C-alpha cells in the first residue's frame, strides 16, 4: 500500500468516525503506560497494605509542636466538650478554625508532624453548615482507593469538632472542604494545617 493510498484511507475513516485519531493516539499511550507499569520486578513493588478487618493498632498520640496551631487541653483528652468557637470573619478563617477544632477534638487520632512521603488514604469531605456553625450536611468528594474506613473516621472527626462558629456574616454557601492526610497508623492531619 502506498503512502497516498494510506493517507486517503485514513482521511475517509476520519470523516466516518470523527475523533478516531485521538482515540487511537490515546489508546497507544495507555497501552505503553500499562506495559511499563507491568515491567517492574517484584522487589520494586510496594507490599500490600493490611486488610481493613485486621485488629486496629493502638492509637499513638502525637503532641502538638510548640507554637503549633492547636493546644490540646487535658479536658479535651478526657472527652469533655471543646471550648466554644469564635465567630468567623472569612471562609479561610472558617477552614482554619474547623481544622484546629478537628485536631483538638481528636487528639489520639491526629498527628501534627511532617506528612509521611506515602499516605495510607486521602479522603476529601465537603462540610455544609447552618448559620450557627452546626453541621447541615457532609458530602464525600473523594473516596480513597484503599482503607475506605478512613472516610468514616474523617466524618466522625468532623462531627466531634462541631460547631465551627457563627457563619451568618459570611456570604453563602456556608461550606468548607477539608483533605484528610492519613498515615499508616490511621491518624490524620487536616491539609489546611499543613501550610
Sheet of 124-129, strand order: 135-142, 124-129, 175-182, 188-190
Q: Where are the beta strands (DSSP E) in the chain?
A: 124-129, 135-142, 175-182, 188-190
Q: How far apart are CA 132 and CA 88, in angstroms?
A: 11
Q: How far apart are CA 144 and CA 72, in angstroms?
A: 28
C-alpha angle 98-100-101 in degrees, rounded to nearest 5: 65
Q: What is the pLDDT of residues 116-165, one digit of tens each?
A: 999 999 999 999 999 999 999 999 999 999 999 999 999 999 999 999 99
Q: How far apart are CA 160 and CA 116, in angstroms?
A: 25
Per-residue pLDDT at 33 exceeds 80: no
- The mean pLDDT of 58-70, rounded to a whole number, is 36
Cis link prior to 173 (omega < 30° from 0)?
yes
Global pTM? 0.60
C-alpha angle 81-156-164 in degrees, rounded to nearest 5: 55
Q: What is the pLDDT of residues 75-103, one digit of tens each?
A: 344 456 788 998 899 999 999 999 999 99
Per-residue pLDDT at 106 exceeds 90: yes
Domain-wise residue ranges, the chain:
3-38, 74-194
* pLDDT score recorded for residue 194: 85
Kind of pairing between the strands at 175-182 and 124-129: antiparallel
- CA-closest candidate to residue 122, choices 158, 91, 96, 148: 148
Domain 74-194 is of which CATH architecture? 2-Layer Sandwich (3.30)
Per the DSSP assignment, residues forming a β-bridge with 190 are: 180
Cell numbers describing residue 48: 500490600
Amino acid at each position: 500500500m502506498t503512502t497516498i493510498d494510506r493517507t486517503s484511507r485514513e482521511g475517509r475513516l476520519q470523516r466516518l468516525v470523527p475523533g478516531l485519531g485521538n482515540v487511537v493516539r490515546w489508546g497507544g499511550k495507555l497501552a505503553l503506560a500499562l506495559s511499563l507499569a507491568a515491567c517492574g520486578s517484584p522487589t520494586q513493588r510496594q507490599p500490600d497494605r493490611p486488610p481493613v478487618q485486621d485488629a486496629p493498632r493502638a492509637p499513638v498520640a502525637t503532641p502538638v509542636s510548640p507554637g503549633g496551631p492547636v493546644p490540646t487541653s487535658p479536658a479535651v483528652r478526657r472527652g469533655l466538650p471543646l471550648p466554644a468557637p469564635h465567630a468567623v470573619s472569612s471562609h479561610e478563617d472558617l477552614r482554619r478554625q474547623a481544622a484546629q477544632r478537628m485536631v483538638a477534638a481528636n487528639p489520639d487520632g491526629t498527628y501534627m508532624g511532617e506528612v509521611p512521603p506515602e499516605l495510607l488514604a486521602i479522603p476529601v469531605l465537603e462540610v455544609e453548615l447552618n448559620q450557627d456553625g452546626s453541621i447541615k450536611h457532609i458530602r464525600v468528594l473523594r473516596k480513597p482507593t484503599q482503607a475506605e474506613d478512613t472516610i468514616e473516621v474523617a466524618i466522625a472527626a468532623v462531627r466531634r469538632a462541631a460547631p465551627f462558629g457563627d457563619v451568618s456574616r459570611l456570604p453563602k454557601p456556608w461550606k468548607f472542604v477539608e483533605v484528610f492526610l492519613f498515615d499508616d497508623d490511621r491518624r490524620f492531619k487536616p491539609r489546611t494545617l499543613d501550610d
